[in-house]
Amino acid sequence: MNIELQTYAAHRSAILKLGLPLIASNMAQFAIHMTDTIMLGWYDVTALAAVTLASSLFFVVFIVGSGFAFAVTPIVAAAAEAGDEVQVRRVTRMGLWLSVIYGFIFTLPFLWAEPILLAMGQEPIVAAAAQDYLVIIAWQMIPALLVMTLKSYLAALEHTAVILWATIGTAIMNVIVNYALIFGNWGAPEMGIEGAAIASLLVTLGNVVILVAYGLIKLPQYDLMRNVWKSDPQIFWRVFHLGWPIGLTSLAEGGLFTASAIMMGWIGEIELAAYGIAIQLASMTFMIHIGFSQAATVRAGRALGRQDEPNLRRGAVMAIGLSAVVAFTTVAIFLAIPEALISAFIDPNEPEKDMLLSVGVSLLAMAALFQVVDALQVMALGLLRGVQDTAVPMVIATISYWVIGMPISYLLAFTLGVGPVGLWLGLVVGLSFAAVFMMWRFWTRSVRITPLKSAHPSA
């Protein structure tokens, strides 16, 4: 088959067309969590510390389960490029199955989070508030994973606008419900941290309804809900085997930041609250890189379906270049106006404002350091997922983050007494190793697809 070599400009246009709605939807999704952090910061410092801790734990469990959703993207993209509508449906269905099974099993410990947090050395008042949040937010896990799978399905088919508008709508709804339930406005009960949890649960359920409805109405050829209860062992295990390394890779990175939050809690409540602010800012900019990474996964998956390695490589160069421009811009902003950024999260009348600002500014400087290497590693991951290579990246991530990064964090923060800044400097080292070796993995291997077995149209 003759394959036309696309120009870099054509690749740039395609990546931006696919990636910008994904970036905007990621930012809107992140705004939901940002809203919780800002409003709870206005409400109470203890609530802010508790939601920082609880959200970190929820995110670790969630991101592992999201591995099955992320596995849907490259397989569906390759199947769609080959014109196989039945395979698209089969893969998405089994991704939804895995999301439900995982969510049911792994959220049960949230119901007994307080003794677990106390055993981790957290302050009793923070652990109790985190328990109140997690007992409610546990019910969000399954719908949140379903949303991730549906987004992966739609992104692979290059229907990203609906993902953007659905997420913006739910983000606006979250602000309204938060305002009512956290502070007790408009006649609603004042529920504080529990109100934030209820708001997040409601908006996630709304997102599921919107995405399912869109898939059924706008993409009838894939008949997404057909045979939704029918098992499909071959595809189930294909998605599972591709997805579990993605989940564990995400665990290696997400667990790194969760462990750093726990260790920050050992230092003190103020340091943990400041960490929560700095990580929100760093995570917000990281949403841009995730969007480019998701676009790179789809583009790589489609190139793989065509067996088009030249355009795969050209697209990778452009995706990495776009991400790098954003990373260096973010570094400049974080270093130029750190006080203004941190102050947005703090009540002006907060007695501990000066201490929160001092710690937060120093942590934001560290966040600026890892912007570039974090962008590089997530772009490499997106490209490797697109070519359905997930096992080796899992090993690289585990070694980089836990054999290298975490010991250095502990050594600097506690053994050498550097404190919060030393804790995050270790993260920079771990992310740097991951970025180098994952990029090396992508650029030094050729890629070939393993075809899925064809299926009867009724599958």
pLDDT (tens digit, 9 = 90+) per residue, 36-59?
777 887 787 788 888 878 887 888
Q: Which two tokens stand for residue 262?
A: 């726990």
Q: What is the CA radius of gyration of the chain?
A: 22
Residues of the chain with pLDDT under 50: none
Backbone angles phi, psi at 32, to 5 degrees: -60, -45
Return the pLDDT at 449.
Answer: 53
DSSP assignment letter at 337:
S
Q: What is the structure's pLDDT at 287?
A: 86
DSSP-assigned letter for residue 452? P
Residue 351, Cβ density class (10 Å: 0-12 exposed, 13-18 middle, ≥19 buried) = exposed
Residue corresponding to tokens 């579990």: 244
How many C-beta atoms surround the C-beta of residue 440 within 10 A? 12
pLDDT at 1: 52
pLDDT of residue 376: 94
The per-residue pLDDT for 324 is: 93
pTM of the predicted model as reported, rounded to 2 decimal places? 0.82
Query: Is-contact 14 315, C-beta < 8 A?
Result: yes
Q: What's the DSSP call for residue 352? A: T
| Cα of 380 vs its chain's centroid, Å | 15
pLDDT for res 381: 94
Give, as one character, the DSSP assignment of residue 351. T
